[in-house]
A and B are shown apart, each in its own frame.
Chain A
Amino acid sequence: MTAAQEVSWLDLYRRMLRIRLFEEQVNDLYTSAKMPGLAHLYIGEEAVAVGVCAALRDDDYITSTHRGHGHCLAKGASVDRMFAELLGKEAGYCRGKGGSMHIADQEKGNLGANAIVAGSAGIATGAALSAKKRGTDQVAACFFGEGALGQGLVYECMNMAALWKLPVIYVCENNMYNEYTHYLETTAGDIALRAQAFGIPFLDADGQDVRSVHDATRAAVKRARAGEGPSFLHFRTYRQHGHHVGDIDRAYYRPKDEERRWAEEHDPLKTLGQLLIQEGGADAAAFDRIEEEVRTEIHEGVKFALDAPYPSPEEVTMHVYA
């Protein structure tokens, strides 16, 4: 059975578009000073989160990163409570106490975005250990950027995951830039060999093609559920915006021409849209309808969040201890 028979590519298009429009709205909120703090936009990388999460069940786990809005939405979070969290409102997923970089949604298996690069490698691997100990067939997907390859924790966890055959999938989103530094300046040797050194299968795929991402993940999930152990997925992708919303003048580390090329030639939404039209899976009207529906969803979500109340002052000392 092929992946296409189980998922609707048009539905994945909708999920990617939801992330795209969500992030564009975040950019607006931020630049109009309605959103406090930091915002690391996922625009351009949507195919990775959507392709991976579409291969997971609701009771499977993910851990996410500082650039995590896309992962949360792809795992099933709703846009209204996401916006509310970003604005620090009580209706947010974490009652406004987590914020953009710490959204968790345990009902959908999201164990949290994490503002420490590679900080969640242990959590994801531990969730996989827990699944194994409890005798379930749940799997855990650990999202991290290529910058996390500089952290020793990743390798410690990969070592134990391989030793103990844990159902964890290491998902490396290689957008080529560790903040403001090209990864080739920080990453010696071969990324594949890092996984293979532990006996962990390495799959490399085009992160801008949601179908490739999905197929690679399905293979890894199948292996994990069968008790055969971890996999390492490497997706080549690109963030179309800066490291964070304030990172505007970035030609010193990233050529404008490169940005233009990725946005025009390797945009995940354009890529899938063109494919579906070529293959006759959808027509222009279908995309228009989806866009209208998602825009309405985003509009209502942001309105909900803007109107929602802030937490009361007594909330500040709540939840320090369980």
Chain B
Amino acid sequence: MSMPEQAVAERQLTMAEAVREALAEEMRRDPRVFVMGEDVAEAGTPFKVLRGLVDEFGPERVMDTPISEPGFTGIGLGAAMTGMRPVVDIMFGDFLFLALDQIANQAAKVHYMSGGKLTAPMVIRTTLGATRRSGAQHSQSLHALVSHIPGLKVALPSTPYDAKGLMKTAIRDDNPVVIFEDKMMYSVKGSVPEDDYTIPFGQADVKRSGDDITLVATSSMVYVALAAADLLAVQGIAAEVIDPRTTVPLDVETLVASAMKTGRAIVIDEGYQSYGVTGEIASLISDRAFYQLDAPVKRMGAMDVPIPFSPVLEDLTVPTAEKVAELAAKLCRKGS
């Protein structure tokens, strides 16, 4: 990724290091914060994101749980409702399905159902992303599922900088927040300030400016969109790349303003395309920017198939820079 010049001198961290730093800083700042989940302590999760956290904070605050997603998610919720601020670790996003009653029927609704008296300040940390050759039950991107439920907030960091800032915001938020990290991006490096900063939810980040077409992209798809923008630049097409960073709340204004400026938009997301994030965002843009558009708003999500294991098949399911650039070029030719 291209970085501003002044940032080059800044400290570089991987995505995993940025997440860990955010957690450690918040745990130092607030004794109510603790982490619980499967293999979070000595193992530091299978992706080693939490490695070393238990050494500083001990097993009381970095708690290994049994393999019981509904149970420990519910226990995290009960702790959140009574004065703690848990970070519940759900190893693979696919396992959200196991815990959905606790997330969607309980955590999401408790503030509303109690007429605003009870709160559930908890973070659910989980992963998304295919192409790790993990098969259909360890590869899904299920952020649309939780974005659908009122009462939950949903964040999708795409850079180490965002991973730290969004995690800190999530922990300080008084609502249940589900934060998705792309498991293929843990080694991505970027500049991360040492100081204490947060990133407000509902504030999209314009990654690259352009006048010809808007590429709205989330999580790993931000890199796909940026690579597509490079390919398009060679053809003389200037793409604007925007990362919403949170799907709930969503910065609709920034996305719509960009589409009004460029007159064209593609929404790229790694969730299943049907009934998903791409459909929601494309609809909002079409609705509000319709009279300024030169082409229909397009969607590019994951194929509507269970993620296959075979690498040749799996790679077909996810949008690529080439496919994004191809569609973008076609839209620009038609509209001009």
Contacts and interface: CB of A to CB of B under 8 A. Distances in A.
B111 A319 contact: yes
B78 A104 contact: no
A106 B114 CA distance: 9
B56 to A, nearest CB: 17
A156 B101 CA distance: 14
Nearest to A315: B115
Given A156-B68, A160-B71, A160-B72, A125 B78 contact: yes
Contact of A98 (B84, B106, B115): B115
B78 A124 contact: yes
A210 to B, nearest CB: 27
A97 B66 CA distance: 35
Contact of B113 (A102, A106, A126): A102
A82 to B, nearest CB: 13
A153 interface: yes
Contact of A123 (B66, B77, B119, B175): B77
A116 B118 CA distance: 18
> Max chain A CB contacts within 10 Å: which of B114, B118, B153?
B114
A153 B74 contact: yes
B112 A320 contact: yes
B78 A112 contact: no
Interface string B72-116: 111111111111100000000000000001100110001111111
Interface stretch (A49-57, A130-138, A297-305): A130-138
A320 B115 contact: no
Contacts, number: 146
Interface stretch (A69-77, A87-95, A234-242): A87-95
Contacts of A124: 78
Contacts of B333: none
B111 A61 contact: no
Nearest to A157: B71
B180 interface: no
Interface residues on B, range: 35 or more
B228 to A, nearest CB: 34
Nearest to A316: B112
Nearest to A124: B78
Contacts of B60: 133
Contacts of A121: 71, 74
B74 A122 contact: yes
A133 B71 contact: no
Contacts of A160: 65-66, 68, 71-72, 75
Contact of B84 (A114, A133, A152, A153): A133
A23 B7 CA distance: 67
A188 interface: no
A66 B105 CA distance: 14
A319 B66 contact: no
A112 B105 CA distance: 13
Interface in A299-322: 318-322
A130 B66 CA distance: 18
Interface in B48-77: 60, 65-66, 68, 70-77
A95 B118 CA distance: 12
B74 A321 contact: no
Interface in A109-155: 111-112, 114, 116, 119-131, 133-134, 140, 152-153
B77 A322 contact: no
Contact of A126 (B70, B82, B119): B82
Contact of A320 (B71, B75, B83, B111): B111
Given A116-B106, A122-B73, A122-B74, A95 B81 contact: no
Given A122-B70, A160-B66, A163-B66, A318 B77 contact: no
Specify which of B60, B68, B121 lies most central, judged by the most chain A CB atoms within 10 Å of its CB: B68
Contacts of B175: 321-322
Contacts of A25: none
Interface string B120-148: 01000000000000000000000000000
A313 to B, nearest CB: 15
A271 interface: no
A19 to B, nearest CB: 21
Contacts of A116: 101, 105-106
B111 A111 contact: no
A159 interface: yes
B75 A129 contact: yes
A96 interface: yes
A116 B108 CA distance: 14
B195 to A, nearest CB: 27
Contacts of B101: 116, 119, 153
B323 to A, nearest CB: 37
Interface string A153-174: 1001101100100000000000
Interface in B144-180: 150-151, 153, 174-175
30 contacts: A94-B114, A94-B117, A95-B115, A97-B113, A98-B113, A104-B113, A106-B114, A106-B118, A112-B114, A116-B101, A116-B105, A119-B101, A121-B74, A122-B74, A122-B76, A123-B74, A125-B71, A126-B79, A126-B80, A126-B82, A127-B81, A129-B75, A130-B83, A134-B84, A140-B78, A153-B102, A156-B70, A157-B74, A163-B66, A321-B151
Given A321-B153, A322-B116, 15 more contacts: A94-B113, A102-B113, A106-B118, A112-B110, A123-B106, A126-B76, A126-B77, A129-B75, A129-B84, A130-B78, A156-B66, A157-B74, A157-B75, A320-B111, A321-B111
**Which 3 A-B residue pairs are closest in the complex by CB-CB distance?**
A122-B74, A126-B78, A156-B71
